[in-house]
Structure 1
Amino acid sequence: MLHHLSLGACDIERAATFYDAALAPLGYCRVWSDMRPGEPDQAVGYGPAGGGDKLALKHLGDAARAPGPGFHIAFAAPDRPAVDAFHKAALAAGGTDNGPPGLRRPYGPTYYAAFVIDPDGHRLEAVFKGLV
């Protein structure tokens, strides 16, 4: 149904550094980049290697605002160690913990997830729903 999502970033270089690190353990990478330091309308796109973007980040400066409570983006992880690595990498790259890796049984018996908030306030989740 969705082709991609776009999020605003106050500082596109900081956002790109964060997402480069946080999404790598999930198998996602920067698939395109329009970075021109000091110029307007910069952006980067992330998705599976060799594919198109599923997430775009656009430099909006002070106009960037994260959506309010209730909105978050959940990224599919290939396994539980990838969820753990996402959480660790996101925190090391400037994210804020919003729920450590672990089972979330209210969502299902095998729902394993971790939650972070990126430097711009966007709520993110990595989730794996398979068996151990």
Structure 2
Amino acid sequence: MPLFDHLGITVDDLDTAIAQFDPVMRGLGCTRQDADGSVSWYKGEEELILFPAREVGSGPHRTGRVGWQHLAFAVGAPEEVDRLHAIAVQAGWTVVREPKQYPRFNDRYYASFIEDDNGIRLEFMFNPPAESDDAL
């Protein structure tokens, strides 16, 4: 069973958010499904949904305030981090942190951080398991 069934994100302008999210979500291997007043991307049983804000102009979200911090997508290689980061930048996301290693987490952690027009922050990260001493 997945940890999350779905994640809903409220955005100020749904069309603009779709233009930014769609290339990233498709780059992650997700399938898009449009609905009346929302759009979803699926991968297996997990779903990310964008909804238009009920209070237009109430954004953008500010990272660091109570609430949303960021959503991290785990990928299988550092090259995938780089590829997804490039897709996001091409789609208009703002670079928060370029792809790089994060030794403060561990010597294997490689990630990038981006933010959309709504202040929604995503991370693409590669963090393979540490090799166990049993493998030696």
Q: TM-score, normalised by structure 2?
A: 0.78
Displacement of 1:66 in angstroms is 2.3
- The answer to whether structure 1 residue 95 and structure 2 residue 88 are counterparts is no
The equivalent of 2:113 in structure 1 is 115
Q: Secondary structure at the match of 1:54?
A: strand
The equivalent of 1:27 in structure 2 is 29
Gaps of 5+ in 1: 36-41
User: Structure 1 residues 24 and 82 mapped into 2: Cα distance closer, same or farther (>3 Å)?
Assistant: farther
Gaps of 5+ in 2: 130-136
Amino acid at match of 1:87: H
Measured against aligned partners, the alpha-carbon deviations of 1:75-124 in whole angstroms (never above 9, x if no partner) come to 12122111111111111111100001111111112111110001211111
Displacement of 1:10 in angstroms is 1.1
Number of residues of Structure 1 aligned to a counterpart in Structure 2? 122
Identity of matched residues, %? 28
Give the aligned CA root-mean-square deviation in angstroms.
2.0
Q: How many Å separate the matches in 2 of 1:47 and 1:112?
A: 25
Q: Please tell me whether Structure 1 or Structure 2 has the larger radius of gyration of its CA atoms.
A: 2
The equivalent of 1:18 in structure 2 is 20
Segments ≥4 residues shifted beyond 6 Å: none
Q: TM-score, normalised by structure 1?
A: 0.80
- The answer to whether structure 1 residue 8 and structure 2 residue 10 are counterparts is yes
The equivalent of 1:54 in structure 2 is 47
